[in-house]
Amino acid sequence: MKAIVIVMIMTLVGCATFQPVSIKERTPQVGVEVTVLTGDVLFESIDCYGEEMVYSGSSRRIVHRGECSRYDLTVAGVFKDKIMLQYREYMKCPSRWVPSYLYDLDAPWCVKDAFTRDLEYSTESSHIKYKSHSFRILSVTDNGFTYVAE
């Protein structure tokens, strides 16, 4: 019901058009040497898609028929024998102005608590693998390490 009201108001204020949205961002890039310390993000992935409703007279970036998600690996700790990482998934925070089947591209990210996990890797191994991502460990110090995304 809210969506119908929002679309009707947008139509009255200005003519709405739709344009495809496809955002895919991955950091760091493959082959780039990176040094991280405890608390730094080791890897981040953003994937948003759908159809953005573009209408005159508004700066809001509302998307429907899609989804916007993000996940990252953060360095939780580096020790002599292990590297500890934290995996987290995020979604665009809901808004009282936007129904749940739409999302606002400019909204902040909210942590999906059920999709948070702590991971441990041995420093004896020269690789960290998670999902389809692989990282080659070049060196380890007391509070960080240097790696290359493969």
Tens digit of each residue's pLDDT, the chain (150 residues)? 555 545 554 544 456 678 898 999 988 888 999 999 999 999 999 999 999 887 766 777 888 888 899 999 999 999 989 999 999 999 998 877 777 778 888 889 999 989 999 999 999 989 999 988 999 999 999 889 999 999
d(CA 53, CA 84): 42
pTM of the predicted protein model: 0.77
- Residue 54, domain extent: 2-149
20-35 core/surface letters (b: 16 or more CB in 10 A; e: else): ebeeeeeebeeeeebe
- The DSSP code for 93 is P
Q: Cβ distance 46 to 103 under 8 Å?
A: no
Q: Domain tally for the chain? A: 1
